């Protein structure tokens, strides 16, 4: 007699699988992920095995499920050293079906757990928060754009610390505090783009015992205008101080007052309370870029109320000279740091590492933007696997080449795959 509908018979339990390296930190982390499939006597593949196969294939350069299957079949003997492969390698449809039902929360938690194992404690570690859209997951029939994932990237450790999928038809603003809550950010410096320059973001940063350097644009119009006025006042004050200084120098020379002249030259042009830093970078093809950072105490800025921890405001001017062309860009920032222009300039520059080191590699090397994997849960879960693989490949440094070259080495050399896995814990 059949049992009640929806009730799993007592004699059916989850099948136990035997993983040779269950003590391995990566295998152990994957084994802790809850299997969403209902218990069945027909279970052939362990969730841990499926996840480890996908991770290993991505480390070796697989960019779609067909390649994952082929690569796993080619290294089945090596996989057997780590996980249960007694039933062979699943087909493409099995990989897809399983990835489509895994809870994104549990897999995202695995990324954070593995990242915490390899993350080094660095003073003033810069953590960049930035979003990336997987355009291949767009569903025009349902009026949905590609899924948008908010990433946390350690610019100093060069690893992805975590990710969070932004809710459909929402944006990064409510997602960023949630992702921050799941990470250890004590003592770090948080950066993001202007969208996330929100009072809730700075409040969460201070709550997490971190600092922030955030750009201010016209989405915070009052604050933006007040900062522009503050620096306009500084420029005027410095110009007047410079005139007085030059006049005093001229008078000292006329009067042959050597002591006065020496004191003035030693003192230099008055800064009017500002901290300044200039950095010139010359690159190939005749391009020169000059960055100048000026910071001042927030003082009595009219719109500072509500921005918890705000201590300084900064202005970064980028001048670019390329042949006969010259361009200039000015960006303003708020920060909980003291007015240290050299430190703030370095933090601002490090923010772009999330684009160059993470997003570019995901799109170009892992071909994430070309993927047509449209299931939104599965695509988000695969993005986690990409980032775990990328963390290991970036940290493995015996081969002094790019990520794509390291993937080739991993595909050809089982010993090198072992090295990449060791870099994940």
Query: Domain spans of the chain?
Result: 25-108+377-422, 117-210+357-363, 219-346
pLDDT value, residue 1:
45
pLDDT in tens, 165-194: 998 878 899 999 999 999 999 999 999 999
pLDDT value, residue 180:
98
The fold adopted by the segment(s) 117-210+357-363 is Nucleotidyltransferase; domain 5 (3.30.420)
Residue bearing the bigger pLDDT, 330 or 11: 330
Closest C-alpha among 390, 391, 414 to residue 63: 390
pLDDT in tens, 340-385: 999 999 999 999 899 999 999 999 999 987 777 888 899 999 999 9
The C-alpha atoms of residue 25 and residue 163 are separated, in whole angstroms, by: 20
pLDDT in tens, 265-306: 888 888 888 888 888 676 656 778 889 999 999 999 999 999
Neighbour order of strands in the sheet with 147-154: 159-165, 147-154, 126-134, 189-191, 211-216, 325-335, 312-322, 287-297, 275-282
Q: Which ranges of 172-220 does DSSP label H, i.e. alpha helix?
A: 172-181, 199-207
Percentages (nearest 5) of helix, strand, coil residues in the chain = 45, 20, 35
pLDDT value, residue 61:
96
Q: Do residues 139 and 375 touch, judged by C-beta distance below 8 A?
A: no
Q: What is the largest CA-CA distance in the chain?
A: 114
Average pLDDT value over all residues in the chain: 91
Residue bearing the bigger pLDDT, 13 or 301: 301
Provide the percentage of residues in the chain whose pLDDT is more than 70: 94
Closest C-alpha among 101, 97, 89 to residue 44: 89
- Residue 5 pLDDT class (50, 70, 90 cuts): low
Q: Do residues 71 and 57 touch, judged by C-beta distance below 8 A?
A: yes
Average pLDDT over residues 87-116: 95
pLDDT in tens, 235-273: 999 899 889 988 988 888 888 888 888 888 888 888 888
């Amino acid at each position: 007699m059949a049992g009640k509908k929806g009730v799993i018979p007592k004699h059916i339990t989850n099948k136990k699988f035997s993983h040779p390296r269950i003590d391995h930190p990566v295998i152990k982390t994957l084994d802790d992920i809850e299997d969403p499939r209902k218990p069945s006597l027909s279970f052939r593949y362990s969730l841990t095995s499926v996840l480890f196969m996908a991770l290993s294939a991505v480390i070796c350069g697989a960019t779609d499920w067909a390649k994952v299957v082929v690569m796993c079949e080619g290294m089945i003997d090596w996989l057997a050293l780590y996980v249960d492969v007694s039933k062979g390698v699943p087909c493409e449809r099995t990989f897809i079906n399983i990835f489509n039902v895994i809870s994104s929360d549990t897999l995202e938690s695995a990324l954070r757990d593995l990242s915490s194992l390899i993350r080094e404690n660095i003073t003033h570690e810069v953590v960049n928060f930035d979003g990336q859209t997987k355009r291949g997951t767009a569903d025009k029939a349902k009026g949905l754009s590609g899924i948008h994932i908010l990433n946390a990237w350690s610019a100093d450790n060069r690893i992805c610390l975590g990710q969070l999928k932004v809710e459909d038809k929402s944006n990064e603003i409510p997602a960023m505090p949630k992702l921050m809550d799941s990470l250890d950010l004590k003592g770090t410096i948080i950066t993001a783009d202007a969208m996330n320059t929100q009072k809730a973001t700075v409040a969460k940063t201070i709550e997490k015992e971190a600092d922030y350097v955030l750009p201010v644009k016209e989405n915070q119009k009052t604050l933006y205008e007040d900062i522009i006025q503050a620096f306009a006042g500084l420029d005027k004050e410095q110009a007047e101080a410079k005139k007085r200084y030059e006049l005093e120098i001229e008078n000292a020379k006329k009067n042959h007052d050597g002591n006065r002249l020496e004191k003035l030259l030693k003192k230099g042009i008055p800064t009017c309370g500002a901290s300044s830093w200039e950095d010139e970078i010359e690159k190939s093809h005749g391009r020169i870029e000059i960055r100048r950072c000026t910071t001042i105490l927030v003082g009595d800025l009219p719109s500072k109320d509500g921005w918890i921890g705000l201590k300084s405001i900064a202005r970064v001017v980028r001048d670019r000279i390329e042949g006969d062309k010259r361009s200039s860009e000015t960006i303003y920032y708020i920060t909980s740091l003291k007015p240290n222009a050299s430190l703030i300039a370095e933090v601002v520059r490090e923010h772009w590492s999330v684009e160059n080191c993470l997003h570019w590699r995901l799109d170009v090397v892992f071909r994430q933007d070309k993927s047509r994997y449209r299931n939104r849960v599965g695509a988000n879960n695969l993005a986690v696997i990409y980032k775990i693989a990328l963390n290991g490949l970036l940290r493995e440094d015996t081969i002094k080449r790019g990520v794509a070259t390291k993937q080739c080495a991993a595909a050809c050399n089982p010993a090198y795959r072992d090295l990449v896995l060791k870099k994940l814990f």
